[in-house]
Structure 1
Amino acid sequence: MRSIVGLWRWRKNPLCRRSDRREAWLALCAVVLIVVITPVVGWLGTSAAHDALLQNIDEQKRSRHQIWATAESVQTRAPLDTDPETAVQSPERHRVVAHWAGPDGTSHKGTVTAKAQVQPGERFRVWTDAEGRVVKSPMNQGTAASYAALAGLAAAVGAAAAAETGRRLVVRQLLRRRYARWDAEWARIGPDWGRTGSNY
């Protein structure tokens, strides 16, 4: 941004070199790309991620089934949080030894985690796959929207970083050329530096 301001102030100054103008125009192009392209990339990334996550939700709903399980024994565990002040707010986890019939009719037995307190002999809901194995519940649309927003934000930040990285690489190349020209000019003028008018 300072290069752009400098270009405007020095646009008619004879000391403004061509490389300075190139650097200022490059900074202007980078700013335009970041301001215009970054929101577009973020929106496209959000849309693409949201569509993919919705397809994943549909697939999970087709492949996962909520069935009834019967508790045999229950073991209540303390919350994972070890801080006594915040552990009170954390829900208790109930590990339940239960049996259930899978979607294909086969009988299963295992240890599952229940969100609510259950007693031996009570029935509660669990999610299983087509073979009766316990799985997580399908992702909901709110979680999908949050993940999609994070993906869009990451895409936008990546686009802005790419534009800035490209600008810095080009500026570095311009500086190398500028220093090379200075070295060549000094090699031409340096040997005669200070000799003019020294014959007295």
Structure 2
Amino acid sequence: MGVWRWRRNPLRRACDRFEAWVAFTALVCVLVVAPAVGCAAGLRVDATLQRAAREQRTERYLVPAVVVRPAADREDTASAGPAGPRQGPERTRVVAAWTAPDGSAHQGTVPAAEEPPRPGDRFRIWTDTAGHLVGRPLDASTAVFHAVVAGAAAALGTAALADTVRRLVVRRLMHRRYIRLDRAWAAAGPDWGRAGAGS
């Protein structure tokens, strides 16, 4: 639609040229700036997540635990430590005992590794150095996936912003054109068709 405005045309107005530049700038933003922003955001998120994953791998340990007994419904599940809210299907919870990497003994309520859980069953859980339950450390592939998603979101957001600005500018230009047309019509319209009016 805007290509003809770049050509020599007696009907081309200054606002047409400005609109064409706005469209060209938006196109450059979508094709060049948005991918660059997405790439930069993805690399930054990846670096942050990879650093967090390395720290988690050095601070979290997979230790053996033993089922002591099934957990009663009224038992405080907060004894499981700062592992955060559970996600996924509900699993049977058991009271388990484990030894922390620092040698201290612990006991708490944790999700059972197998169904049905039996006293004496052995399984492994993630803890910190002090023996508090923690979540599984972030692996490198998951960090890369989240970084790619973040980069794609940043690129799409930048492209959407550029197109939104272009649309707002074009809408404003159209509004101004209609105002000028209305003024020209009001000035010349009443004389159209009258004898001697020069029409």
Smaller-chain TM-score bracket: 0.7 to 0.9
Measured in 2, the distance between the counterparts of 1:116 and 1:174 equals 67
Write the mapping of 1:159-198 to structure 2, written as runs, cut at 5 A.
Answer: 159-197=158-196
* Offset at residue 126 of structure 1 (A): 0.8
Instruction: Give me the identity figure in percent.
Output: 47
Which residue type is aligned with residue 47 of structure 1? L
- Identify the range of structure 1 (136-145 vs 58-67) with the bigger mean alpha-carbon deviation: 58-67
Among candidates 107, 110, 129, match of residue 109 of structure 1: 107
Which residue type is aligned with residue 171 of structure 1? V
* Aligned twin of 1:64: 60
What are the superposed Cα offsets for residues 153-175 of structure 1, whole Å, 9 maximum, x if unpaired? 00100110111011111112211
Q: Secondary structure at the match of 1:135?
A: coil
Write the mapping of 1:35-46 to structure 2, written as runs, cut at 5 A.
Answer: 35-46=31-42
* Aligned twin of 1:128: 127
Unaligned ranges ≥5, structure 2: 72-87
Q: How many residues align?
A: 180
* Aligned twin of 1:47: 43
* Offset at residue 180 of structure 1 (A): 2.1
* Offset at residue 64 of structure 1 (A): 2.1
Q: Secondary structure at the match of 1:99?
A: strand
Write out the 4+ residue segments of structure 1 that deviate beyond 6 Å after TM superposition. none
Q: Which has the higher contact order (CA 8 A, sep 6+)?
A: 2
* Offset at residue 149 of structure 1 (A): 0.4
Normalised by the size of structure 2, how large is the TM-score?
0.76
Unaligned ranges ≥5, structure 1: 76-89
What are the superposed Cα offsets for residues 155-199 of structure 1, whole Å, 9 maximum, x if unpaired? 10011011101111111221122122222222322343333437x
Q: Secondary structure at the match of 1:109?
A: strand
CA 1:92–1:172: 2 relative to 1, 3 Å:
closer
What are the superposed Cα offsets for residues 54-75 of structure 1, whole Å, 9 maximum, x if unpaired? 1211232233222221122469
Which residue type is aligned with residue 122 of structure 2? R
